[in-house]
Amino acid sequence: MNKILLILSACFLVVLFSCEEDYYEKKSVYGYENLSSIIDTLRSDADFSKFVELLEKSNVDDLLIRGTVYSVFAPTNAAIDAYNQNHPEKSTEVLDSVGIKNFVEYHIIFGIYYNYDFNKQYQNKSENRYQSRLFNKKFNRYKYLSVFPKSYFGGAGKTNYSSEYQAIYHREYEASDSLFFVESAKVIRNKMDISCSNGVVHGIDAAIEPKLNAFEYLESNPDFSTYFSFIDRYDTLIPVSFEGELTHYNQEYWYKDENNIHQQITDLPFNEEQFDVTLFVPTNEVLNDFFEPYLVSFGGDIKNLPDDLVTGLLKYNFANVNRHKKRLYEEDMKGGISMADYRTVSDPIDFLSKAPIVTSNGFIYPVNKLLAQPRLSSITGKILLDPQFAAYRYMMEESGYINIISNSYYVSNDYLFGEKVSYPESWTLIAPAQVVFEDSIAKSVYDMNTLSLRDAAPFFIIPNTILLTDEAMDNKFDKGTRVDQFKDGYYSTYRGAFMRKQGNTLYSSLFPDSVAQIIDYQVGSNGIVYIVDDYLWGTIPSFTVYAQLTRHKSTVQTYYGELTNGLHSELLQEELLQWQRDFTLFIPTDEAMKAYDVRAANDDNLKTWAEMNTVERDYFLRSHIVRKRMMITNPNNEIFYSSVGKKLTLFKDRGQIRIKGTHADQAAASFKILNEQGSNGVVNIIDQVLLP
């Protein structure tokens, strides 16, 4: 019995592999020299004469003789006649040579694909899009077309899209029919899988019209002009490559502003031909109705909405390409879908106003209302919509921090300088009243450059929510928002400086003489905004540690002079001016440098400052810099390392804070100035050199 089973199994395998061999015999490298080229194969069939004529007119016929292999979807003469009759304004009879070239190249895809291959590809990868010969010069991308094999319409473990396909493409699919479709064209049974020496030909019963991608379609349709104006703000989207490689669906996009600064992130590849996207696009009417009550804050024009609201609105209405790697039919939406902001919309079908618009890179669903509204009740909304915050809003927008305080609503998927950003759930903002900004031109935020604004803005932001009263359980706040009482004492601001509260008075640790009174507050769903009657900064244009060091240049002229004029260390100066990095400086005074020179002149192991070359001076400077922010309070033999990797030790000696390097014979230094804060670190002035 076992022997019989083995014999039957062997016979079955022989038959199975014979079928495979029969199929692949057509595709084998051996024997290809006995086949005709694609163009000769087409010329040999009178049903393709009109398509051949178009190939010859556009000179595309030369491509189909040798070289790269292609799969060609060739419309019959009847198919081209029907297309010309239904599209007289763009028929093949009125197209110029470029138009004809575009028309025929959209019927040609790279690679050899038979009916079997299309099914296998879709079964393995759920992939039904293929790169055509048609090149979109505007976006520097080849256009794609969709192929719908039998497995697309059901089968083991596959969703059946037949009813939705029929509704969208107006072509009927019958389960008993094993043929496949290319867009809305049906492959002809007796003209399918025609092998050629350099590819394969599939005859189709309808011409395939090149489609616009989602970006191009929205640009061309006046009903979506407002939504498109939002997208168009991001026409400088550039892909960011980490470690030199661009991934497909996990690609992050940074918004590049006019100052060439990577300021904010979004992931909206509307114009990427190789992506399949699903957009839920509100018409102009829907957007105008929603924003009308707020337009007084933006000059009455919806196009003046701030970037923050626009970015949020786009993400709220764009399916997450990281999770949904294909266009979404209604069948795919029944369990809810993830949006680009990583929110889940459980009932997107309820928002659809009509069938999707088919583009070359996905579906556009017109919607009768926004899937999710911008959070105008949040503290971001308070700032954006209330005219009394106009100047404060300008500072927060220009510095990029408006986007940070907005992103706390959802789990962040943003990256800053290659690292994932983690945001608090809520915020406390300190906002000088509008009259404060108008009171003094010298203090006007409108006169400050972007770097100065980025330095200043974090000192007006306190992570988490703190209240003057005991409203900690007030249901005005989002569930999960951390709320504390705003008691007298010190509070750490977003970039690490401190703000002190005493009664209704606020003090900045950066500028102790700068005070402000709390005159009012507004509660948002994710925090609170305190309105104050004055600034909490001085008149320095930038608050970086380098700017703070500038204030003491007469005391530390040797060190400062090398930063400013040194040949090699000017790179260090640039680092100290960057707002996104943190440093702690321990800078020796000029007297300390002179004492060091006296010692070095009598020590063969040391060089005087004048004897050092540029590299040695840079090493010396960096020996006094730590690459993190350190507030020195009550050290107990605290050990850390300079930027050149040498150990430094903080300790207390008879009640006095001291610091020492690794050189055994060098005396410990005392502090002349301690904990002078900058926006990107702390400056300390010491009376001894720290020798490594």
Indicate if the pLDDT at residue 352 is higher than 90.
no
Residue at 634 is within a domain: yes
Of 169, 204, 239, which one is at a domain's C-terminal end? 204
Residue at 372 is within a domain: no
pLDDT tens profile 515-560? 899 999 988 877 899 999 988 875 544 677 887 888 888 899 988 8
Shared-domain flag, residues 351 and 480: no
Per-residue confidence (pLDDT) for residue 590, from 0 to 100:
94
Of 204, 234, 257, which one is at a domain's C-terminal end? 204
Put simply, whether the predicted model's pTM sits higher than 0.75 gets the answer no
Chain-centroid distance of CA 473 in Å reads: 36
Sheet with strand 498-502: strands edge to edge: 461-463, 427-432, 527-532, 515-524, 505-508, 498-502, 489-492
pLDDT tens profile 205-240? 999 988 888 888 989 999 999 888 887 765 433 333
Q: Are 281 and 365 in contact (CB under 8 A)?
A: yes
Shared-domain flag, residues 347 and 265: yes
Degrees to nearest 5, angle at CA 413 with 409 and 417? 120
Average pLDDT over residues 114-142: 86
Per-residue confidence (pLDDT) for residue 69, from 0 to 100:
92
Shared-domain flag, residues 275 and 307: yes
Shared-domain flag, residues 306 and 387: no
Shared-domain flag, residues 464 and 523: yes
State the CB neighbour count (10 A cutoff) for residue 195: 18
Indicate if the pLDDT at residue 257 is higher than 60.
no
User: What stretch of H or E contains 502?
Assistant: strand 498-502
Indicate if the pLDDT at residue 568 is higher than 50.
yes
| DSSP for 471-495, written as a single string | -TT-TTSPTT--EEE--SEEEE-TT
Q: Which amino acid is at 161?
A: Y
Number of domains in the chain: 5
Per-residue confidence (pLDDT) for residue 637, from 0 to 100:
87
Sorting pLDDT into bands at 50, 70 and 90, what band is 657? very high
| DSSP for 548-571, written as a single string | HHHTTTTTSHHHHHHHHH-SSTHH
Residue at 691 is within a domain: no
Per-residue confidence (pLDDT) for residue 117, from 0 to 100:
93
Shared-domain flag, residues 679 and 649: yes
Average pLDDT over residues 314-325: 72
The CATH number of the domain holding residue 419 is: 2.30.180.10
Please tell me the distance from the alpha carbon of residue 89 to that of residue 81, in angstroms, as a whole number.
Answer: 14
Per-residue confidence (pLDDT) for residue 485, from 0 to 100:
87
Average pLDDT over residues 260-271: 46
Of 532, 557, 575, which one is at a domain's C-terminal end? 532
Shared-domain flag, residues 424 and 358: no
Measured CA distances, 386 to 9, 298, 383, 590 (Å):
79, 10, 6, 51
Mean pLDDT of the chain, nearest integer: 79
pLDDT tens profile 173-216? 888 887 899 999 999 999 999 999 999 999 999 999 888 888 88
Shared-domain flag, residues 403 and 338: no
Per-residue confidence (pLDDT) for residue 25, from 0 to 100:
42
Q: Which amino acid is at 185?
A: A
pLDDT tens profile 136-169? 887 778 899 999 999 899 877 788 899 889 989 9
pLDDT-above-90 percentage for the chain: 27
Residue at 458 is within a domain: yes
Sorting pLDDT into bands at 50, 70 and 90, what band is 594? very high
Q: Pick the closest to residue 110 from 138, 73, 79, 137 (CA basis).
A: 73
pLDDT tens profile 390-441? 888 888 877 778 767 765 443 344 444 344 445 567 889 999 888 887 765 4
What range defines the domain where residue 517 resides?
379-532
Shared-domain flag, residues 605 and 565: yes
Residue at 550 is within a domain: yes
Average pLDDT over residues 602-612: 89
Q: Are 554 and 675 in contact (CB under 8 A)?
A: no
Shared-domain flag, residues 508 and 579: no
Shared-domain flag, residues 196 and 290: no
Shared-domain flag, residues 82 and 198: yes
